[in-house]
Amino acid sequence: MIIVMHPEATPSEIDNVVAEVEAKGWQTHRSSDHGQTMIGLQGKGQPLDLFQLGQLPGVLDAMAITQKFKLASRAFRPENTTFQIGDFTVGGKQLAVIAGPCSVESREQLLETAHAVKEAGATFLRGGAYKPRTSPYSFQGMGEQGLQLLAEAREATGLPVVTEVMSPDKVKLVAVYADVLQIGARNMQNYDLLNAVGEAQRPVLLKRGMSATLEDLLMAAEYILSHGNNQVMLCERGIRTFDNKYARNTFDVNAIPTLKELTHLPLIADPSHAIGVRRHVKSVALAGVAAGADGLIIEVHPNPDAAVSDGPQSLTLPQFAELMQQVRAMAQAVGREA
Protein backbone atom coordinates (compact mmCIF):
# COMPACT_ATOMS: atom_id res chain seq x y z
CA MET A 1 0.00 0.00 0.00
CA ILE A 2 1.13 3.57 -0.70
CA ILE A 3 0.01 6.78 0.95
CA VAL A 4 0.62 9.85 -1.19
CA MET A 5 0.99 13.02 0.85
CA HIS A 6 -0.08 16.42 -0.45
CA PRO A 7 2.86 18.52 -1.69
CA GLU A 8 2.02 21.08 1.01
CA ALA A 9 1.70 18.52 3.81
CA THR A 10 3.56 19.63 6.92
CA PRO A 11 6.22 17.48 8.63
CA SER A 12 3.88 16.97 11.58
CA GLU A 13 1.06 15.77 9.29
CA ILE A 14 3.47 13.28 7.69
CA ASP A 15 4.65 12.11 11.12
CA ASN A 16 1.05 11.71 12.27
CA VAL A 17 0.20 9.48 9.29
CA VAL A 18 3.30 7.36 9.91
CA ALA A 19 2.40 7.02 13.60
CA GLU A 20 -1.17 6.06 12.69
CA VAL A 21 -0.21 3.15 10.44
CA GLU A 22 2.75 2.00 12.53
CA ALA A 23 0.44 1.77 15.54
CA LYS A 24 -1.50 -0.81 13.53
CA GLY A 25 1.57 -2.94 12.97
CA TRP A 26 2.81 -1.71 9.58
CA GLN A 27 6.40 -0.89 8.62
CA THR A 28 6.80 2.39 6.76
CA HIS A 29 9.26 3.68 4.17
CA ARG A 30 9.34 7.28 3.03
CA SER A 31 10.26 8.57 -0.41
CA SER A 32 10.23 12.14 -1.69
CA ASP A 33 9.97 13.32 -5.29
CA HIS A 34 9.86 17.00 -6.15
CA GLY A 35 8.71 17.91 -2.65
CA GLN A 36 5.97 15.26 -2.47
CA THR A 37 6.27 12.51 0.13
CA MET A 38 5.19 8.92 -0.51
CA ILE A 39 4.79 6.51 2.40
CA GLY A 40 5.13 2.83 1.55
CA LEU A 41 3.65 0.22 3.88
CA GLN A 42 5.08 -3.26 4.39
CA GLY A 43 4.35 -6.17 6.67
CA LYS A 44 1.22 -7.81 8.02
CA GLY A 45 -0.44 -5.18 10.15
CA GLN A 46 -4.10 -4.71 10.88
CA PRO A 47 -6.43 -4.10 7.90
CA LEU A 48 -6.52 -0.47 6.80
CA ASP A 49 -9.41 1.42 5.29
CA LEU A 50 -8.16 3.29 2.22
CA PHE A 51 -11.01 5.81 2.45
CA GLN A 52 -10.26 6.63 6.08
CA LEU A 53 -6.54 6.96 5.35
CA GLY A 54 -7.38 9.37 2.56
CA GLN A 55 -9.24 11.60 5.04
CA LEU A 56 -6.23 12.11 7.32
CA PRO A 57 -4.81 15.67 7.28
CA GLY A 58 -2.16 16.09 4.59
CA VAL A 59 -3.04 12.89 2.69
CA LEU A 60 -3.65 13.29 -1.05
CA ASP A 61 -4.37 9.65 -1.89
CA ALA A 62 -4.02 6.08 -0.62
CA MET A 63 -3.73 3.11 -2.94
CA ALA A 64 -2.87 -0.57 -2.95
CA ILE A 65 0.13 -1.89 -4.90
CA THR A 66 -0.67 -5.11 -6.70
CA GLN A 67 2.92 -6.11 -7.54
CA LYS A 68 4.85 -8.28 -5.11
CA PHE A 69 7.71 -5.78 -5.20
CA LYS A 70 6.55 -2.62 -3.45
CA LEU A 71 9.48 -0.31 -2.73
CA ALA A 72 11.11 -1.03 -6.09
CA SER A 73 7.95 -0.27 -8.07
CA ARG A 74 7.16 2.81 -10.13
CA ALA A 75 3.92 3.10 -8.15
CA PHE A 76 5.91 3.80 -4.98
CA ARG A 77 8.38 6.17 -6.66
CA PRO A 78 7.31 7.48 -10.09
CA GLU A 79 10.53 9.44 -10.65
CA ASN A 80 13.85 7.77 -11.45
CA THR A 81 16.03 7.22 -8.41
CA THR A 82 19.35 9.05 -8.48
CA PHE A 83 22.08 9.11 -5.84
CA GLN A 84 25.60 10.45 -5.43
CA ILE A 85 28.73 8.32 -5.26
CA GLY A 86 31.60 10.74 -4.88
CA ASP A 87 31.07 13.45 -7.47
CA PHE A 88 29.05 11.21 -9.79
CA THR A 89 25.24 11.06 -9.97
CA VAL A 90 24.07 7.51 -10.61
CA GLY A 91 20.88 7.40 -12.67
CA GLY A 92 21.38 10.91 -14.05
CA LYS A 93 21.96 12.03 -17.64
CA GLN A 94 25.58 10.84 -17.69
CA LEU A 95 26.13 7.12 -18.10
CA ALA A 96 27.98 5.34 -15.31
CA VAL A 97 30.88 3.40 -16.81
CA ILE A 98 32.37 0.84 -14.44
CA ALA A 99 35.58 -0.66 -15.83
CA GLY A 100 38.49 -2.76 -14.66
CA PRO A 101 39.78 -6.31 -14.35
CA CYS A 102 37.72 -9.30 -13.36
CA SER A 103 40.27 -10.08 -10.63
CA VAL A 104 42.83 -7.95 -8.87
CA GLU A 105 46.05 -9.82 -9.66
CA SER A 106 48.83 -7.41 -8.69
CA ARG A 107 49.50 -3.78 -7.86
CA GLU A 108 51.04 -3.15 -11.27
CA GLN A 109 48.15 -4.73 -13.17
CA LEU A 110 45.49 -2.83 -11.23
CA LEU A 111 47.14 0.60 -11.31
CA GLU A 112 47.91 0.36 -15.02
CA THR A 113 44.30 -0.54 -15.72
CA ALA A 114 42.87 2.08 -13.37
CA HIS A 115 44.83 4.94 -14.94
CA ALA A 116 43.98 3.77 -18.47
CA VAL A 117 40.24 3.42 -17.92
CA LYS A 118 40.12 6.77 -16.11
CA GLU A 119 41.83 8.46 -19.06
CA ALA A 120 39.41 6.78 -21.48
CA GLY A 121 36.38 8.07 -19.59
CA ALA A 122 35.38 5.47 -17.00
CA THR A 123 33.61 6.83 -13.94
CA PHE A 124 34.15 3.83 -11.61
CA LEU A 125 36.84 1.18 -11.13
CA ARG A 126 35.82 -2.46 -10.81
CA GLY A 127 37.96 -5.34 -9.60
CA GLY A 128 37.39 -8.60 -7.77
CA ALA A 129 39.15 -9.22 -4.47
CA TYR A 130 36.96 -12.23 -3.62
CA LYS A 131 36.03 -14.39 -6.61
CA PRO A 132 33.21 -16.97 -6.72
CA ARG A 133 34.45 -19.55 -9.22
CA THR A 134 32.81 -22.60 -10.72
CA SER A 135 35.84 -24.70 -9.81
CA PRO A 136 37.27 -24.73 -6.26
CA TYR A 137 40.72 -25.08 -7.86
CA SER A 138 40.50 -21.79 -9.78
CA PHE A 139 41.95 -18.49 -8.52
CA GLN A 140 39.73 -17.25 -5.67
CA GLY A 141 41.06 -13.71 -5.38
CA MET A 142 43.60 -11.87 -3.21
CA GLY A 143 41.16 -11.15 -0.39
CA GLU A 144 41.87 -8.16 1.84
CA GLN A 145 45.14 -7.49 0.05
CA GLY A 146 43.14 -7.03 -3.13
CA LEU A 147 40.80 -4.63 -1.33
CA GLN A 148 43.78 -2.60 -0.16
CA LEU A 149 45.07 -2.38 -3.73
CA LEU A 150 41.66 -1.21 -4.92
CA ALA A 151 41.69 1.52 -2.27
CA GLU A 152 45.17 2.54 -3.42
CA ALA A 153 43.97 2.72 -7.03
CA ARG A 154 41.05 4.91 -5.94
CA GLU A 155 43.47 7.22 -4.17
CA ALA A 156 45.64 7.43 -7.30
CA THR A 157 42.82 8.02 -9.81
CA GLY A 158 39.83 9.35 -7.89
CA LEU A 159 37.64 6.58 -9.30
CA PRO A 160 35.13 5.11 -6.79
CA VAL A 161 35.58 1.36 -6.33
CA VAL A 162 33.05 -1.38 -7.13
CA THR A 163 33.85 -4.86 -5.83
CA GLU A 164 31.96 -8.03 -4.99
CA VAL A 165 31.06 -9.19 -1.50
CA MET A 166 30.24 -12.88 -1.21
CA SER A 167 29.06 -13.48 2.35
CA PRO A 168 27.33 -11.55 5.15
CA ASP A 169 30.37 -11.80 7.42
CA LYS A 170 32.52 -9.99 4.84
CA VAL A 171 30.20 -6.99 4.33
CA LYS A 172 31.75 -4.80 7.03
CA LEU A 173 35.27 -5.52 5.81
CA VAL A 174 34.51 -4.86 2.13
CA ALA A 175 32.59 -1.70 3.04
CA VAL A 176 35.75 -0.28 4.62
CA TYR A 177 37.47 -0.28 1.23
CA ALA A 178 34.72 -0.19 -1.42
CA ASP A 179 32.33 2.56 -2.50
CA VAL A 180 29.84 0.12 -4.07
CA LEU A 181 29.08 -3.40 -2.84
CA GLN A 182 28.45 -5.77 -5.73
CA ILE A 183 26.16 -8.78 -5.35
CA GLY A 184 27.10 -11.31 -8.00
CA ALA A 185 24.68 -13.36 -10.08
CA ARG A 186 25.30 -16.48 -7.99
CA ASN A 187 24.32 -14.60 -4.82
CA MET A 188 21.28 -12.71 -6.10
CA GLN A 189 19.00 -14.79 -3.87
CA ASN A 190 21.36 -15.09 -0.92
CA TYR A 191 18.87 -13.42 1.39
CA ASP A 192 21.20 -13.17 4.39
CA LEU A 193 23.67 -11.31 2.19
CA LEU A 194 20.94 -9.04 0.76
CA ASN A 195 19.84 -8.15 4.28
CA ALA A 196 23.43 -7.47 5.31
CA VAL A 197 24.17 -5.05 2.44
CA GLY A 198 20.82 -3.40 3.06
CA GLU A 199 21.77 -2.77 6.67
CA ALA A 200 25.21 -1.50 5.62
CA GLN A 201 23.58 1.55 3.99
CA ARG A 202 26.15 1.55 1.19
CA PRO A 203 25.47 1.71 -2.57
CA VAL A 204 24.78 -1.75 -4.02
CA LEU A 205 25.14 -3.17 -7.55
CA LEU A 206 22.75 -6.13 -7.72
CA LYS A 207 23.34 -8.52 -10.62
CA ARG A 208 20.56 -10.60 -12.10
CA GLY A 209 20.89 -14.31 -11.47
CA MET A 210 21.68 -16.58 -14.39
CA SER A 211 18.17 -18.08 -14.43
CA ALA A 212 16.28 -15.33 -12.62
CA THR A 213 13.10 -13.70 -13.88
CA LEU A 214 12.72 -9.93 -13.74
CA GLU A 215 10.38 -10.33 -10.78
CA ASP A 216 13.02 -12.47 -9.02
CA LEU A 217 15.51 -9.63 -9.50
CA LEU A 218 13.12 -6.97 -8.24
CA MET A 219 12.19 -9.06 -5.21
CA ALA A 220 15.89 -9.44 -4.41
CA ALA A 221 16.21 -5.64 -4.60
CA GLU A 222 13.21 -5.41 -2.27
CA TYR A 223 15.23 -7.10 0.48
CA ILE A 224 17.86 -4.36 0.28
CA LEU A 225 15.32 -1.53 0.00
CA SER A 226 13.36 -2.84 2.98
CA HIS A 227 16.26 -1.77 5.22
CA GLY A 228 15.95 1.82 4.04
CA ASN A 229 18.91 1.51 1.70
CA ASN A 230 17.70 3.19 -1.50
CA GLN A 231 21.09 3.25 -3.21
CA VAL A 232 20.54 0.20 -5.41
CA MET A 233 21.58 -0.36 -9.03
CA LEU A 234 20.23 -3.35 -10.93
CA CYS A 235 22.45 -5.15 -13.44
CA GLU A 236 21.45 -7.14 -16.52
CA ARG A 237 24.39 -9.48 -17.14
CA GLY A 238 22.89 -12.10 -19.44
CA ILE A 239 20.92 -15.23 -18.67
CA ARG A 240 21.47 -18.89 -19.48
CA THR A 241 19.58 -20.23 -22.47
CA PHE A 242 19.87 -23.34 -24.63
CA ASP A 243 22.82 -22.08 -26.72
CA ASN A 244 26.17 -21.59 -24.98
CA LYS A 245 28.41 -22.69 -27.83
CA TYR A 246 28.96 -19.26 -29.33
CA ALA A 247 28.27 -17.03 -26.33
CA ARG A 248 28.69 -17.33 -22.58
CA ASN A 249 25.13 -16.15 -21.90
CA THR A 250 22.23 -14.51 -23.71
CA PHE A 251 21.98 -10.75 -23.25
CA ASP A 252 18.35 -9.99 -22.40
CA VAL A 253 18.03 -6.61 -24.07
CA ASN A 254 14.25 -6.86 -23.48
CA ALA A 255 14.93 -6.58 -19.77
CA ILE A 256 16.25 -3.03 -20.03
CA PRO A 257 13.13 -1.18 -21.26
CA THR A 258 10.90 -3.53 -19.26
CA LEU A 259 12.74 -2.86 -16.00
CA LYS A 260 12.83 0.87 -16.72
CA GLU A 261 9.04 0.69 -16.93
CA LEU A 262 8.59 -1.42 -13.79
CA THR A 263 11.09 0.19 -11.44
CA HIS A 264 12.63 3.53 -10.57
CA LEU A 265 16.03 1.97 -9.82
CA PRO A 266 19.04 2.67 -12.10
CA LEU A 267 19.95 -0.15 -14.48
CA ILE A 268 23.47 -1.16 -15.53
CA ALA A 269 24.25 -3.40 -18.51
CA ASP A 270 27.10 -5.93 -18.31
CA PRO A 271 28.12 -6.80 -21.89
CA SER A 272 31.24 -8.69 -20.76
CA HIS A 273 29.40 -11.46 -18.95
CA ALA A 274 26.42 -11.28 -21.28
CA ILE A 275 28.36 -12.33 -24.38
CA GLY A 276 31.64 -13.59 -22.93
CA VAL A 277 33.45 -13.05 -26.24
CA ARG A 278 35.81 -10.08 -26.46
CA ARG A 279 35.16 -9.17 -30.10
CA HIS A 280 31.40 -8.89 -29.47
CA VAL A 281 31.46 -6.89 -26.23
CA LYS A 282 31.30 -3.58 -28.13
CA SER A 283 28.10 -4.50 -29.99
CA VAL A 284 26.32 -5.65 -26.83
CA ALA A 285 27.47 -2.57 -24.91
CA LEU A 286 26.08 -0.24 -27.57
CA ALA A 287 22.82 -2.21 -27.64
CA GLY A 288 22.50 -1.75 -23.89
CA VAL A 289 22.97 2.01 -24.15
CA ALA A 290 20.51 2.23 -27.06
CA ALA A 291 17.92 0.27 -25.04
CA GLY A 292 18.09 2.76 -22.16
CA ALA A 293 20.64 1.43 -19.65
CA ASP A 294 21.95 3.97 -17.15
CA GLY A 295 25.46 2.61 -17.39
CA LEU A 296 27.84 -0.18 -18.32
CA ILE A 297 30.16 -2.49 -16.40
CA ILE A 298 33.00 -3.76 -18.56
CA GLU A 299 35.97 -6.01 -17.87
CA VAL A 300 39.32 -4.57 -18.99
CA HIS A 301 42.81 -6.02 -18.62
CA PRO A 302 46.29 -4.96 -19.81
CA ASN A 303 46.92 -8.47 -21.16
CA PRO A 304 43.67 -10.45 -21.30
CA ASP A 305 45.31 -13.59 -22.64
CA ALA A 306 47.32 -13.81 -19.42
CA ALA A 307 44.40 -12.95 -17.08
CA VAL A 308 43.74 -15.39 -14.24
CA SER A 309 39.97 -15.08 -14.79
CA ASP A 310 37.60 -14.02 -17.60
CA GLY A 311 40.37 -13.26 -20.07
CA PRO A 312 38.33 -14.20 -23.17
CA GLN A 313 35.73 -11.51 -22.42
CA SER A 314 38.09 -8.78 -21.20
CA LEU A 315 38.94 -5.85 -23.46
CA THR A 316 42.48 -4.61 -23.89
CA LEU A 317 43.21 -1.06 -22.79
CA PRO A 318 43.16 0.30 -26.39
CA GLN A 319 39.94 -1.59 -27.11
CA PHE A 320 38.27 0.01 -24.11
CA ALA A 321 39.37 3.49 -25.20
CA GLU A 322 37.92 2.82 -28.67
CA LEU A 323 34.69 1.52 -27.14
CA MET A 324 34.29 4.69 -25.06
CA GLN A 325 34.39 6.83 -28.21
CA GLN A 326 31.53 4.80 -29.65
CA VAL A 327 29.61 4.80 -26.37
CA ARG A 328 29.77 8.60 -26.36
CA ALA A 329 28.30 8.72 -29.85
CA MET A 330 25.51 6.29 -28.93
CA ALA A 331 24.79 8.12 -25.68
CA GLN A 332 24.40 11.39 -27.55
CA ALA A 333 22.03 9.74 -30.02
CA VAL A 334 19.68 8.69 -27.19
CA GLY A 335 19.93 11.93 -25.21
CA ARG A 336 22.54 10.83 -22.69
CA GLU A 337 26.19 11.67 -21.99
CA ALA A 338 29.29 9.53 -21.48
pLDDT in tens, 54-92: 899 999 888 888 788 988 999 888 899 999 999 999 999
State how far the alpha carbon of 26 is from the alpha carbons of 16, 41, 219, in Å: 14, 6, 19
Residue 69 lies in a domain: no
116, 229: one domain: yes
Q: Which domain holds residue 29?
A: 2-63
- Give the total number of structural domains in the chain: 2
87, 164: one domain: yes
43, 147: one domain: no
Helix (H) and strand (E) counts in the chain: 11, 14
pLDDT-based confidence at residue 330 (cuts at 50, 70, 90): very high
107-120 and 144-157 helices cross at what angle (nearest 10)? 40
Distance CA 60, CA 58 (A): 6
Where does residue 212 fall: left (phi above 0), alpha (psi -120 to 50 degrees), or beta otherwise? beta
- Residues in a beta bridge with 299: 100
182, 288: one domain: yes
Q: Which of 232, 244, 237 is nearest to 210 (CA)?
A: 237
pLDDT tens figures, 139-185: 667 899 999 999 999 999 999 999 999 999 999 999 999 999 999 99
pLDDT tens figures, 113-146: 999 999 999 999 999 998 776 666 566 678 999 9
Q: Which residue has the higher pLDDT, 315 or 35?
A: 315
116, 188: one domain: yes
Cα distance from N-terminal residue to C-terminal residue, the chain: 38
Choose one of 11, 30, 63: the last residue of a domain. Answer: 63
Residue 151 lies in a domain: yes
273, 240: one domain: yes
Q: Which of 236, 180, 231 is nearest to 212 (CA)?
A: 236
Distance CA 5, CA 15 (A): 11
